[in-house]
Structure 1
Amino acid sequence: MQIEYVGAFQIIVGVLVRFWPVWLALAVVMVPSYVARRRLGLYGQLYDSGVGLAGVGICLFWLFTAVFSATVSPFDPLAQIPVMKDALPGAIDANSGQVYLFGGDKLARDVFSRMVFGSRIVLIIAPAATGFALMVGITLGLPAGYYGGKIDSILSFLANLVLAFPVILLFYLLVTPGIMDTPIPYGLAGVFFLFPIVFFSVLFWTRYKNRPDRLYILLGLTLVIGGWVYAGLVFDADPLDIVSIAPNQLNIFVAVVFASSPGVFRIVRGLVMDIKTRDYVAAAQTRGESPWYIMLWEILPNARGPLIVDACLRIGYTTILLGTLGYFGLGLAPESPDWGTAIKDASRLLRQTIHPALPPTIALMSFVLGLNLLADSLREQSMKD
């Protein structure tokens, strides 16, 4: 069967048109933000430099692509049309009339649709895993830097022990398929996912312990929402089936948190050891504030700049890690449309057809570039402040 093709100009126009909800969402968010940037604090300051504007634009582009992936994609990322196997970009499906904008892969799946749906996987796992790593690192780094002594020695030893382990081997051990049949990932998840609940409970208790009317509401919301998420992630027991995660994704999640937490811990510990000598901390101690109040409400807010920058960079590292694991066939399912798996599948036939490898590679590179530009802009703003 002869396959018909459209020209390069039509491919470019087709791609731009498919992204119409993304362009609309970018305009709705970025134009008002730019106009009101003077009143938006740190976020608004990002619009004052070209680097920050580019970083925000690229990151929001992929965020909205993930949100609207079902609308942007012309095909199901797992759907196979045999005649489109290894089809070149611009191939027209005779049945639906839709175009394989970036061609077909070796299994006759639409490369463009798989790239778009791959952003959803990356945008869910990378920021969420980084967020949990921040929770673990902050919760342990605050007392280590503030109290020092034996607490610092024990926690620092554990952190250095994890950091001393070869990262690639660590991820291989935690993400290898055989681990899924053991209680190790679920045990680690059960420990790590407790940290956000503990963190926010202590945060609200130290702030509102003298205002029980507000305290009970906040603690109740923390325990209900936290318990719901915890049950869904660790025990797959969410009755509404909203919060759930596949075993292979849980392995990656736990591996990222386990490997990233010590780095966050060391950053927080160093910041606390510096900030705790400031006058406003001494003033809080003079007022008789509790140590955890001082750590959470006096020290942590003043350490947010470096932590925000580190979070942006760490999401980028996690994105590269997901691509690396997918490339080696670890973690996610073989049919997953994530960018790393797509690059791996395309690389096997790279000498024959290069077009299936380019879109996921460029997508991965551009998203990490956007995060790095965002981190650079945030670093500049934090130095000015």
Structure 2
Amino acid sequence: MEALTPLAILARTLAQFWPVWIGLALILAVSCARRRRLGLYGRIFYTVIGTVGFTLVVFWALTAILADHVALFDPYAQISALRNKPPGSIDPASGLPYLFGGDALGRDVFSRMVWGSRSVMVIAPLATLFAYMVGIMLGLPAGYFGGWLDTVLSFLANLVLAFPVILLFYLLVTPEIRQTAIPGTMAAVLFVFPVLFFVMFFWSRFRERPETLWFYLGPTLLVGGFVYLGVIGVWDPTGRIAMDANTLNIFLAVVFISSPTVFRIVRGLTLDIKTRDYVAAAQTRGESPWYVMMWEILPNARGPLIVDACLRIGYTTILLGTLGFFGLGVSPESPDWGSTINEGRKLLRVYVHPALPPALAIMSLVLGLNLLADAMREQSLRD
């Protein structure tokens, strides 16, 4: 069978993303129609930069969710007849095209690019969220109370930040680390912070109303404790929570490296906001320190934190790609973008098509996150 023409490849590629286009159109239509009621989120649709950035990010998020409907082949399936074949080559057995060609092992580059979005869109946002909870739980009291607590926590944060990021990342995810107690200890310490965050969040608000407090705190402790025990590998009866060793190491490395920077940002914002009149008013009312931190300071720091979160997810995406490029990705056969680029670069002078699509995917996602962060920064300054 003859290969597809470039125009046919483009048309088939766009058509293959049909569920993503439908979901994206619905989200954009609803968001634009109700943007006046959606606060900071709605205001990003008043700018072209914000709309473009949001579109790129949501495109890849929906691609990750709908990967099994978008991809044409199993990302691990090997068809020897299509090894290093150019884009548009047809599989003789199924009659389906390898839209972006085949790699050195005869796997579909397009399908691997689509499935590779899942590891990025799961690990990068979740690890960034966990890092923020760690940074918030340490940065708020450091900036609010000051003194020896601020000195100790700032010293520890600066100690981590003084180490070269890529080298530290590399050391934390090497296979030798898995044979030590370091991953388990780091998981037990770092993963307790999200539970503490929600416990303090509800306790500081409802501590004088026990019935309401336990209405929120009960499920938080039950679900949070169950997930915590599963993630650290102590108890997981469902078998769906515990991460494999590679994923856990990468996740821990992202949280550990990102937390000190988040800590410094939260601490700096707290030092500034705690001098405001509404904080003094809350203190005069006799509110507890944690209430002031969680319900007065943190909400008023949300603008810079949201902007930094978008940028940080982009940085994490690049780091994940870098790890995959060095052969330290989620797994050796994983279709994650960094690993795919690494495999494609070995024959880059002869075959460009295996390495180019995942590289463009990383570029477009990071570009979208940066544009989204710029739009949010512009809108948050108007608050």
**TM-score using structure 2 length:** 0.98
Aligned pairs for 1:32-43 (under 5 A) are: 32-43=30-41
Distance 2:307 2:234 in 1: 33
TM-superposition CA deviations, 1:261-313 (whole Å, max 9, x none):
00000000000000000001111111111111100110000000000000000
1:230 deviates by: 1.0
Partner of 2:103: 105
SS at match of 1:155: helix
Deviation digits for residues 114-171 of structure 1 (CA, Å, limit 9, x no counterpart): 0000000100000010001000000000000001110000000000000011112211
- Selected match of 1:322 from 310, 317, 320: 320
Aligned to 2:255: 257
Match of 1:355 among 353, 356, 363: 353
Equivalent residues of 2:329, 2:339 under 8 A apart: no
Q: Which residue of 2 aligns with 1:87?
A: 85
Shift of residue 237, structure 1, vs aligned partner = 3.3
In structure 2, C-alpha distance between the alignment counterparts of 1:84 and 1:183, rounded to whole Å = 44
Q: The residue matched to 2:335 in structure 1 has which SS?
A: coil
Query: Aligned match of 2:237 in 226, 236, 239?
Result: 239
1:127 paired residue number? 125
Three-state SS of the structure 2 residue aligned to 1:314 is helix
Taking the aligned partners of 1:15 and 1:351, their CA distance within structure 2 comes to 25
In structure 1, the residue matched to 2:186 is: 188
Runs of 4+ in 1 over 6 A off after TM superposition: none
Q: Which residue pairs with 2:310 in the alignment?
A: 312
What is the correspondence of 1:196-345 to structure 2 with a 5 Å cutoff?
196-235=194-233, 237-345=235-343
Q: Does 1:72 align with 2:65?
A: no
Of 326-335 and 68-77, deviating more is: 326-335
- In structure 2, the residue matched to 1:63 is 61
Q: SS of the counterpart of 2:301?
A: helix
Between the two proteins, the alignment pairs up a number of residues equal to 383
Partners of 1:227 and 1:290 in 2: how far apart? 26
- CA drift of 1:236 comes to 6.3
Alignment partners' CA distance in 2, 1:95 and 1:193: 48
- For 2:214 and 2:234, the matched residues in 1 are separated by 28
Check whether the contact 1:46–1:53 (CA below 8 A) recurs between aligned residues. yes
After TM superposition, the structure 1 = structure 2 runs for residues 18-33 of structure 1, keeping only pairs within 5 Å, are 18-33=16-31
Matched, 1:365 2:371: no
Gaps of 5+ in 1: none
| Inter-partner Cα distance in structure 2 for 1:53 and 1:99 | 33
Q: Secondary structure in 2 aligned to 1:384?
A: coil
CA contact (8 A) 2:44 2:51 kept: yes
Q: Tell me the amino acid that sits aligned with residue 281 of structure 1.
A: V
Deviation of residue 382 (structure 1)?
0.7
Match of 1:108, SS?
A: coil
Question: What's the counterpart of residue 52 of structure 1?
Answer: 50
Q: Take 2:332 and 2:3, find their aligned partners in 1: how far apart are those partners? A: 29
1:176/1:331 contact within 8 Å kept: no
Q: Which shifted more, 216-225 or 154-163?
A: 216-225
5+ residue gaps, structure 2, are none
SS at match of 2:255: helix
How many angstroms apart in 1 are the aligned matches of 2:242 and 2:99?
A: 33
- RMSD after superposition: 0.9
- Structure 2 partner of 1:137: 135
CA distance, structure 2, for counterparts of residue 380 and residue 102 of structure 1: 38
Q: Which residue of structure 2 aligns with residue 7 of structure 1?
A: 5
Instruction: Read off the aligned partner of 2:180 and give its amino acid letter.
Output: T
Shift of 1:233: 1.3
- CA distance in 2 between counterparts of 1:97 and 1:155 reads 60
Say if 1:174 and 1:255, in contact at 8 Å, map to a contact too: yes
Distance in 1 separating the partners of 2:139 and 2:35: 33
SS of the residue corresponding to residue 97 of structure 1 reads coil
Distance 2:111 2:21 in 1: 17
Match of 2:113? 115
Letter in 2 for 1:173: L
For 1:14-73, what per-residue CA distance to the aligned partner results, in whole angstroms no more than 9, with x for missing partners? 111110100010111111111111111111101100000001100100000000000100
% identical equivalent positions:
62
Structure 1 pair 84–236 and aligned structure 2 pair: CA distance change class (3 A): farther
Task: Tell me the amino acid that sits aligned with residue 107 of structure 2.
Answer: R
Measured in 1, the distance between the counterparts of 2:329 and 2:19 equals 31
- 2:329, 2:338 within 8 Å by CA — same for their partners in 1? no
